Structure 1
Amino acid sequence: MRKFMLWNGIIGLFILGTSIQATAHNQIGSLGDPADATDYYMVQCSTDEGGTTGQLYLQIFDGTTTQGGGKVSVVGEFPAGNIATTASDPDRFSPMPGGPSSLLKPGTDGTYNMFVHKLKEGVKQYNVTYHCQSSEGAHTGTSILTIQDQ
């Protein structure tokens, strides 16, 4: 009986660890009332079993249920390559996020900047999905650091 309980516990931890890893690439946050509120993150992409990073995938969901704040967007930038991309959620009342955007830079592990911003005064709630991916779309090493939280 003890072996059975131990085995079930190990399997449960493995499943929990797998599910946490699969959903770990979401950044949930909010932007304060000022029209120029911006959250700034650094996303570190690295080579792992998925291969070398070739792109940063971004998608944003506007979870705001009140008026104000305008449209919310996420901007991804790879400073070493002087390239950037933007993804927005054009319909705050839709249960679906806006369309995705990918910042393509084949064969480039490194640090990407990620900025979440809005257009007008009003508090905004958001959920950004971000993934470092190989050029073929396989997940590569991904970590995040908050630089500015407004």
Structure 2
Amino acid sequence: MAKNHLFLQKVLMVVSLTLIAGYTATISAHGGGATLDPAGNKATFTALARVTCLDDGNGPPDHLVARIRDNSPATPGMFVSLQLHKGSKAISITDTTPGDAEFSPFVTLQGGNGTYFMMADKTIAGVRDFEVEWHCNTATGVHTGTDIVVDQFE
């Protein structure tokens, strides 16, 4: 629980929202960041969250789009990746140029209304500062309601 709270504190700094572990927030533009593997010794360190796309009156959700940015200096062989999963569909993207201040391209997972899993991880042991941006959208690209709950940060 403490690790989830630390992750959410960092999300708070980035998106200026009050998120506390176990709570959700509905917003229209979404982003957050944290440090994967603060101790720098766990190659399998993973952040996992549930993003729920809701019909908030703007139309039914059609898809979740997301991208990731590695804010750390380049380290040979180390990259951060983002995966989206819902039902029998999944997609991933990797920031292939760490520390360049640019996000990866967006990936889109068309899964309609409901809960998606969003996971961030890295390729080898070491500290990585990262940011993620995500949006639930209708088929025409209009933002819809979005809730997020962080399940794992270890």
TM-score by length of 1: 0.78
Question: Match for 1:62 among 50, 67, 70?
Answer: 70
Residue 134 of structure 1 is matched in structure 2 by 138
Corresponding residue of 2:23: none
Shift of 1:104: 1.2
Aligned to 1:9: none
- Give the helix-richer structure, 1 or 2: 1
Gaps of 5+ in 2: 1-15, 18-26
The alignment yields a C-alpha RMSD, in angstroms, of: 2.0
Q: Does 1:29 align with 2:37?
A: no
CA offset digits 1:105-141 (Å, max 9, x no partner): 3xx2111001100101111111100111111111011
Identity of aligned residues (%): 27
Secondary structure of the 1:26 match is strand
**Which entry has the higher C-alpha Rg, 1 or 2?**
1
> Contact between 2:59 and 2:138, CA under 8 Å: does it hold in 1?
yes
Change (3 A) 1:41 1:66: same
Alignment length (residue pairs)? 127
**Superposition TM-score, scaled by structure 2 size:** 0.76
Structure 1 unpaired stretches of 5+: 1-15
